[in-house]
Each structure stands twice: as C-alpha cells, then as structure tokens.
Structure 1
Amino acid sequence: MLIALWAQDKNGVIGKDNQLPWYLPADLKFFKETTIGKTVVMGRKTFEGMGKRILPNRQTIVLTRDTNYSHEGILVMHTMDEVLDYAKEQDQPVYIIGGALVFEEYLPHCDQLLRTMIDHEFAGDVFIPTIDWAQWELVSSTEGIVDDKNKYPHRFETYERK
C-alpha cells in the first residue's frame, strides 16, 4: 500500500529552497508518529534538503536518476517500478513524502492521502501537483491545536481513493 504524506499551505506550497517554509511542531509530531517503523520514499533533493539526515527508526528510500548515488543507511532506487515492487512486498504501508516530482509520479498509485492543511500563505517555490479530488473521499479531518509553538491554524486530513 502506498500513502502520500505531506503538509501544504492554502496555495499548495510544500517547500521553499528545499526546506519547509514553516515551523509547525504538531505536524512534525504527526509525521513522526505516522511513519515510525515504516518505509519513507523521497527524492534526492528532499533528502539533501534535510541535510542527508536519516530519519530514525524508518527505512529510507531515496529516489534518484544518478546511478552512482549512495549514502550510508538508505536504500537508493532509480525507477518508479523499483519502488512499486518494493511496496508490494511490504506488510506495512510505504509513505511517499516528496518532493513535488516524486508526488507527481506516485500519486496515481497511492491508496490513501494524508495531508496537513495549513490555513496560511507562505512564500514557496515547490507546490503539490494538481490532484483530481473527484477520485478521493475525505474520511477524516482533525483540527490541530493553535498555541505558542503551533502558530498557524491547521488540520490533519485523511483521504481514501474512491
């Protein structure tokens, strides 16, 4: 099972300069709790934008066209089929976590979408690809708590393919 997992602003911004353009600890906590013990798939730019930091207690797959790319502690894959075949062999969901090109490639193959919707506008240079929402059903939406650390209104949404 493939699940896409991301946070976005009102305009679909998901990144700026290979970083998140916001700081929202509640979303980071949600991400960690959701993916702990699971496999995450990201593009090379996303991985490098995280400082090539391996996420603890997760299997990390980095997708790149560079056949010489390697980094200790990750799996490197070069094609969509490699990732799809890997996901079919897993007992647990595999999470697609970005960036935009990776989302664009894998959204048609996802069974579920987990979106943190931030009700704010940020400057950004990376956007979530266009999603045909007619193919998806919102099955849950939970309002996030706004406080001193989580300054932006947000909600956690789960969609399942119709």
Structure 2
Amino acid sequence: MTISIIAAIGPNRELGKNNKLLWNIPEDLKRFKKITSGHAVIMGQRTFESIGKLLPNRTNIVLTYDVKEFKKRNKHLFRHSGTKRDCPESDSGSFDKAQDECAQLLTRMTGVVVVPSIDEAIQEVKRVEKDEVFVIGGGMIYKQFLPFTDKLYLTLVEGTYEADTFFPDYSSFSKVVSREKLDTEKYKITFLVLEK
C-alpha cells in the first residue's frame, strides 16, 4: 500500500490561515476529487470540521485525541455506525474479537472512522485500503505522516500569501514523477507529483 500526501501550497509552503484554505481553485479541487475518489483519506479533526461533511466515495479516517468528544459533537455521522449489539453473539455468548471486528466493519461502512493515533490510523488503513491512501491535512497531520509517506501530490500556487499553517519541509522528495503548469482564471499553478 502506498501512503500519499495531497496538498496545495504557496511558494513558502503556505497551507492556510484560521483553519481555512488560502485559495479556491476549481481545477485543483477537480484534481483532488479525481485522485482521491475510491480511496481512504486521512485528516485531522480541524480539517474535517473545515470541510464540514464526509467526502463521498472515500473512507474518511479522522485523527483526534478525543474520540469520544468528536463522536458526541458529530452524532449525525454515527447514527448507523456499528456497535456490538448489531453483531451476532459468538457461540460462547460473549462479546469477543469477532464482534469487535463486526462493529468496526459496520462503522467503516458509514464512511467515517475516528482514531486517536497515527498507529491506529495506519492499522485502519491496512484494513480498508489495498492500493493508495491519501493524507489530506492539516499541517500537523502532514508533518506527522511525512516520514511514512511514499508520494506527494502537490499543487504549487504562485503568489504571496499570509498564512498561519505551513506544509513541512519535503526536500527529501526529489524524484519528479510528473509536472504540469496551468494558468487558471485567478492563479498560476503547477501540479507536481514527487517521490523519495
């Protein structure tokens, strides 16, 4: 399985300000959707909240230190999530590992999985994704996942931007897989794919 990061960044690795993206580039959003659809995506809680909804046709894995609080604030997402009561009892009549796995499967089917650590996110990804998983933000999540990352899908946005969140140093990714320059209505951008 390939772990990839996808992000749009400015010339000084700017990502966002006040938990919002610095730009709205339809061509970049189309590329994001095309590349990530059908795959698992990993994001931090604040990125999830800034999006405001589940990304369709993707397993959404949300990293947060307080899983209970996240589920409480986002009850609507877990209305149909799995609990052990939804799963058949084992022959011994106890709630065993099989029931835990059944409950996790039902939860994954709703489109969102919430985990408290990178290790658990990677374990979850291995269960749901065989091909490629995409880390989609924010800044701290990118920094934590960069050492495990195989590939970067970057949109480089020309210009000057005021930001409070930045992409980590990615100088170890030196192999250019593809590069495409594009002038949009408002921005000059470059779609860049890099590997180590």
TM-score (norm 2): 0.75
Quote the offset at 1:30 in angstroms: 0.5
Letter in 1 for 2:194: Y
Looking at secondary structure, tell me which structure has more helix per residue: 2
Alignment of 1:1-162 (within 5 A): 1-51=2-52, 53-68=53-68, 69-70=70-71, 71=74, 72=77, 73-89=111-127, 90-131=129-170, 133-147=171-185, 151-161=186-196
Q: Distance in 1 between matches of 2:136 and 2:18?
A: 16
The structural deviation recorded for 1:123 is 1.5
Percent of matched pairs sharing the same residue: 35
In structure 2, stretches of 5+ residues that fail to align are 78-110
Q: Is the 8 A contact 1:87 1:93 kept in 2?
A: no
Mapped to 2, the partners of 1:65 and 1:144 lie a distance apart of 39
Answer with 1 or 2: which has the greater Rg.
2
**How large is the Cα RMSD of the aligned pairs?**
1.3
State the distance in 1 between where 2:184 and 2:54 align: 29
Structure 1: which amino acid aligns with 2:152?
A: L
Distance (whole Å) between structure 2 residues aligned to residue 116 and residue 31 of structure 1: 10
Q: Normalising by structure 1, report the TM-score.
A: 0.90
- How many residues in Structure 1 have an aligned counterpart in Structure 2? 156
3-state SS, counterpart of residue 143 of structure 2: helix
Shift of 1:21: 1.1
Retained in 1: the 8 A contact 2:173–2:194? no
**Take 2:137 and 2:156, find their aligned partners in 1: how far apart are those partners?**
16
Counterparts in 2 of 1:123 and 1:135: CA distance versus 1, 3 Å: closer
